[in-house]
């Protein structure tokens, strides 16, 4: 039964979730919020939806790029190098990004008579992203239920999984990760050095997947 809407970036995690729960997903939404890598991610999101015959919408949130402070919105040179666990990676946080996107997705779910909103946050996000943590997921789930006539729920199946475990699930599903984007710099190739590139490399290695990504280095 098609009862869900998914927030789909075009990255590894949300693409895996798309394939994993394709039988339940009626609508996929990508948000263009002015990040360095939106233009690289969104075409992949569209591609995978086309492969699965799932309706895909792109919703503009350009005000975030104009008014919010984050290195993710400030050009590729502002993106720090290093692992997600590093203190300098906090500069990539876009304040309350998931909260804003989930609010829109919840309204879309109610408008389309859908019961669930899905997002692909995972355990590795918890270190620096407050709106990826389990307590946020639980709180937003309650908020969505209370604020909609049909009691929309938030589903976060990967919340306590590692990115490596998600990649392993993608391997089982036969996902081509060369058709996903991770790099925060959004260049012609993955930089190989920013937090998301480092995490991507580690996850693919953990899952025993030959890395199909073309890196600058």
Q: Is 15 a known ligand-binding residue?
A: yes
Give the pLDDT band (50/70/90) at residue 85: low
Strands annotated E in 62-195: 116-118, 153-155
Per-residue pLDDT, averaged over 5-11, amounts to 98
Considering the entire predicted model, what is its pTM?
0.95
| CATH H-level superfamily of 4-206 | HUPs (3.40.50.620)
Based on its alpha-carbon atoms, the radius of gyration of the chain, rounded to whole angstroms, reads 16
Q: Is 176 a known ligand-binding residue?
A: no
Query: Residues 25-49, buried b or exposed e (16+ Cβ, 10 A)?
Result: bbbbbbbbbbbbbbebbbebbbbbb
Q: Is 194 a known ligand-binding residue?
A: yes
Q: Is 9 a known ligand-binding residue?
A: yes
Q: Is 191 a known ligand-binding residue?
A: yes
Q: Is 182 a known ligand-binding residue?
A: no
Q: Is 16 a known ligand-binding residue?
A: yes
Neighbours of 111 (CB within 10 A): 10
- Measured CA to CA, the distance from residue 181 to residue 7 in angstroms comes to 15
53-67, 72-86, 201-215: the lowest-pLDDT one: 72-86
Q: Is 8 a known ligand-binding residue?
A: yes
Q: Is 75 a known ligand-binding residue?
A: no
Residue 7 has pLDDT above 90, yes or no: yes
* Residue pLDDT, tens place only, 26-46: 999 999 999 999 999 999 999
Q: Is 154 a known ligand-binding residue?
A: no
More confident residue, 128 or 213: 213
Domain ranges across the chain: 4-206
């Amino acid at each position: 039964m098609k009862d869900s809407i998914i927030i789909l970036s075009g990255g590894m995690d949300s693409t895996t979730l798309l394939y994993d729960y394709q039988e339940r997903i009626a609508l996929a939404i990508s948000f263009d919020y002015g990040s360095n890598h939106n233009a690289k991610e969104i075409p992949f999101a569209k591609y995978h939806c086309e492969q699965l015959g799932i309706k895909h919408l792109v919703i503009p949130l350009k005000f975030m790029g104009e008014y919010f402070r984050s290195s993710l919105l400030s050009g590729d040179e502002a993106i720090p190098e290093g692992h997600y666990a590093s203190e300098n990676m906090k500069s990539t946080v876009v304040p309350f990004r998931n909260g804003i996107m989930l609010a829109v997705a919840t309204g879309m779910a109610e408008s389309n008579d859908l019961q669930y909103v899905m997002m692909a946050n995972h355990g590795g996000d918890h270190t620096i992203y407050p709106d990826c943590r389990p307590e946020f997921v639980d709180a937003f789930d309650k908020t969505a239920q209370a604020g909609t006539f049909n009691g929309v729920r938030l589903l976060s199946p990967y919340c306590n999984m590692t990115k490596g475990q998600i990649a392993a699930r993608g391997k089982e599903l036969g996902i081509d990760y060369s058709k996903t984007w991770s790099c925060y710099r959004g260049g012609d190739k993955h930089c190989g050095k920013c937090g998301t590139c480092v995490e991507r490399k580690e996850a693919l290695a953990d899952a025993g997947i030959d890395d199909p990504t073309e890196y600058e280095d």
